[in-house]
Amino acid sequence: MVKNKFILAFALTASILFQNNSYALTEVTLHNSPIVTESNKALLTPIQENVGEPIKSENTDNAQNEESLKQATLTEEKKQRIAQIALPNVAANGAIIIDANTGKVLYEKNADTRFFPASITKILTALLVIENTQLDNRVIYSRSATTNLESGAVTLGLVEGDNISVRDSLYGLLLKSANEVANGLAEHVSGSIPAFANLMNQKARELGCTNSNFTNPSGLNDVNHFTTARDMALIAKACFANETFVQFDSTLNYNFPATIKKPTLTPITMGHKMLNSADTRFYEGIIGGKTGYTSKAKNTLVTCAKRGNTKLITVILNANKTQYEDTKAMLDYGFEVMKIENE
């Protein structure tokens, strides 16, 4: 009995010594049988370091290095192939095309130069209206909204007292590009055009715009009303991520309701020619967009197109009647680049 106690004490002492050197006895054996008691149970528990961590072998490291090298080679190969694609020939003075999913710039030309936007301003107006009021609400058009217009401005002939829903007004804004509609919607949302302009600038900053200033909801000439291709692309990205906006902006034809001056429906048509399959400028995959023109801004154009999982946004500023050709050239380039990127 004494002998057994001596052997157990020796074994436990050895266990403690081994533990101090990061070793542990798995069990104590006496006459081929383990002896485990509550007092020595903790001492007999094996020490496990880095439990749950996979044991890396040299083969594993080599495989990972080979895979990384393979991916780097593929990426470099894609870059070389993309570099061989001819850049779009863009005549407009300001232009950009971005991946609408990531915001990545695929091509730009004077993207941070300030230009007058003209009526592409109205996509920001529409987005703010959608975010800040209900589509079934009624807009009561004021005298200031329907008369505060420059000569030659596009209108739907609304006058003071016209009562039109927000929904109908948005179709008038985005399809007909009616300027008194822009004014009326701005007053409906913010109470006045200056207050709505403040809202426009606040939203632009939230979207990351750094070189724009908006003074009215329509885009009519104002020396302090300007933007850049890059900023407009950010605004368009937010617009085309909004399903309600897309619903309005992808509509080709709509019957605007009766008004005080015109007691019958007024058929209106989307101004962006690349959406219309009957037009020679039609482009497969166009979701929507907005045209613009003033004598100072010249032709401006925002476009969104999608093919497969690739969604692109283009902006054209200060063009001399080349807005559609420029847009097509950028979209062709963008889809070709993204086809390689997505392989």
Cα gap 241→304, rounded to integer Å: 10
Strands 286-294 and 298-307: antiparallel
Q: Is 192 a catalytic residue?
A: no
Q: Is 177 a catalytic residue?
A: yes
Q: Which residue has the tokens 């500023």?
A: 317
Helices (H), the chain: 2-20, 58-83, 122-132, 143-147, 166-171, 179-190, 193-206, 229-239, 243-249, 323-341
- CA torsion sign for 322, 324, 325, 330 is positive
CB 200 within 8 A of CB 227: no
Q: Is 144 a catalytic residue?
A: no
In the three-class reduction of DSSP (H, G, I as helix; E, B as strand; rest coil), residue 140 is classed as strand
Q: In this structure, what is the dihedral angle of CA atoms 187, 190, 191, 195, given to the nearest 10 degrees?
A: -100
Distance between start and end Cα atoms, the chain: 78
CB 170 within 8 A of CB 135: yes
CB 318 within 8 A of CB 91: no
Cα gap 331→275, rounded to integer Å: 14
Strands 310-319 and 298-307: antiparallel
The one catalytic residue among 119, 142, 169, 190: 119
The one catalytic residue among 15, 142, 169, 177: 177
CB 168 within 8 A of CB 158: no
311 forms beta bridges with 306
Q: In this structure, what is the dihedral angle of CA atoms 190, 186, 247, 294, given to the nearest 10 degrees?
A: -150
The one catalytic residue among 109, 122, 176, 203: 122
Strands 310-319 and 105-109: unpaired
Amino acid identity of 337? V
Catalytic residues: 119, 122, 177
